[in-house]
């Protein structure tokens, strides 16, 4: 956090940026000596000169312009990250992993929130390039590189997180969506649920949502005793969500019913909807949600989740970027982490009920 000093307590001189020339003049040394001190060549200076420069820097409150110095050297030590939704806990958790590696290697992370707006995403790419960032980690809201015209001409290496971009093959780090969804769906079926609904935000061509939906229906085809369908909608439209879940709960089906929610936001909205509908969580309906969030264990008897190693995903994405910055020109890497099933009360039906459903 940057704090603004009380302007009434500062002189006009102190509010100005101190220059390298002023440091040199105060220290009674050459500008070249100060440049060497700041540039890491202090071994070329005498002990007396170093001490004089250090005292003047402290006295005058000199702060070097890191951007200007970085541009002069050709390295800004800046990494850009564009996230699709800053309100989504997934984005924040991945960002923490990225930032940890940045700090370890002396980079500063610049974070932009596209708010799922392709035009904003394109503008942020341009802005980051104008700041001469050395690399970009992108949680894309665009579905195709064609929608981000300048991306194929981007001068810095780009690593994608979570979502693919059509016609743009680059390093990609995320979850093994097929394995994770098959695990989640199979768990519901093993618990005796026979009528399943895959609740997702609008598919809109997002690779993550499409892969999870495909794996859901693939698993159902292997179990002809089960039925299921996709419910894609704006989950923040409470009235619409309530109506659709009410229709699902009251419809004739193959047996006990359950919801598979595609991310933490969907899981939370589905849980709130079930409460509004007066359903006993989770006796009337089963629920599995993607993303392990702090409140997952607190709703009802706890929500069964597919936990993503989000911090590790962020670390791996930054590691990929560092490899590219070091000159790696090998084929793009696609790193898929396995999800972990954490079983709680939302899918724990008693044995007698499971026998009747079988």
**282: preceding bond cis by omega (within 30 degrees):** yes
Half-sphere exposure of 72 toward its Cβ, with a 13 Å CA cutoff? 8
Cβ atoms of residues 309 and 334 within 8 Å: no
d(CA 135, CA 151): 12
Map out the domains of the chain with their CATH numbers.
7-61 (1.10.260.40), 77-175+311-337 (3.40.50.2300), 177-308+340-357 (3.40.50.2300)
Owner of token pair 């369908």: 229
Confidence of residue 329 (pLDDT cuts 50, 70, 90): very high
Asked whether the CA dihedral 215, 221, 225, 228 is positive or negative, the reply is positive
Q: Which pLDDT value is given to residue 156?
A: 87
Q: Which pLDDT value is given to residue 67?
A: 57
Mean pLDDT of 312-337: 96
Q: What ranges in 42-196 are assigned the alpha helix state H?
A: 47-60, 66-73, 89-104, 118-130, 177-190
Q: Which pair of tokens denotes residue 347?
A: 């899918």
Mean pLDDT of 266-291: 91
* Model confidence, pTM: 0.78
Helix (H, G, I), strand (E, B) or coil at 336: strand
Decide if pLDDT at 188 tops 60: yes
Secondary structure, 3-state, 158-179:
EEEECCCEECECCCEEEECHHH
Helix (H, G, I), strand (E, B) or coil at 197: strand
Decide if pLDDT at 13 tops 60: no
Mean pLDDT of 123-150: 85
Confidence of residue 200 (pLDDT cuts 50, 70, 90): very high
Asked whether the CA dihedral 294, 299, 301, 306 is positive or negative, the reply is negative
Cβ atoms of residues 220 and 185 within 8 Å: yes
Angle, CA 189 vertex, CA 187 and CA 192 arms, to 5°? 110
Decide if pLDDT at 8 tops 90: no
Cβ atoms of residues 213 and 200 within 8 Å: yes
Mean pLDDT of 64-91: 77
d(CA 172, CA 90): 16
Cβ atoms of residues 96 and 119 within 8 Å: no
């Amino acid at each position: 956090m940057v704090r603004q000093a009380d302007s009434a307590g500062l002189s006009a001189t102190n509010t100005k940026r101190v220059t390298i020339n002023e440091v040199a003049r105060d220290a009674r040394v050459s500008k070249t000596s100060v440049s060497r001190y700041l540039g890491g060549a202090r071994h070329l200076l005498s002990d007396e000169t170093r001490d004089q420069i250090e005292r003047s820097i402290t006295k005058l409150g000199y702060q070097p312009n890191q951007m200007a110095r970085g541009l002069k050297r050709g390295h800004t030590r800046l990494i850009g990250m564009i996230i699709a939704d800053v309100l989504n806990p997934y984005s924040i958790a991945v960002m923490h992993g990225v930032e940890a590696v940045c700090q370890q290697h002396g980079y500063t992370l610049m974070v932009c929130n596209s708010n799922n707006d392709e035009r904003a995403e394109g503008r942020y790419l341009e802005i980051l390039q104008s700041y001469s960032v050395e690399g970009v980690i992108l949680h894309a809201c665009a579905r195709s590189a064609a929608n981000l015209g300048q991306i194929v001409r981007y001068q810095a290496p780009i690593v994608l997180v979570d979502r693919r971009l059509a016609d743009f093959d680059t390093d990609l780090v995320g979850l093994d969506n097929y394995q994770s969804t098959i695990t989640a769906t199979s768990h519901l079926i093993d618990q005796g649920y026979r009528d399943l609904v895959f609740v997702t935000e609008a598919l809109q061509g997002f690779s993550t949502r499409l892969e999870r939906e495909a794996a859901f229906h693939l698993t159902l085809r292997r179990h002809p005793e089960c039925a299921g369908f996709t419910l894609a909608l704006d989950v923040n439209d409470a009235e619409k969500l309530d109506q659709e879940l009410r229709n699902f709960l009251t419809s004739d089906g193959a047996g006990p019913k359950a919801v598979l929610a595609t991310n933490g936001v969907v899981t939370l909205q589905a849980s709130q909807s079930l409460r509004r509908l007066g359903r006993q969580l989770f006796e009337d309906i089963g629920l599995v949600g993607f993303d392990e969030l702090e409140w997952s264990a607190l709703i009802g008897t706890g929500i069964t989740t597919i936990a993503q190693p989000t911090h590790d995903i962020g670390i791996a994405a930054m590691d990929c970027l560092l490899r590219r910055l070091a000159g790696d020109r090998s084929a793009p890497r696609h790193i898929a982490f396995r999800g972990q099933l954490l079983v709680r009360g939302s899918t724990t039906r008693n044995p007698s009920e499971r026998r009747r459903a079988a």
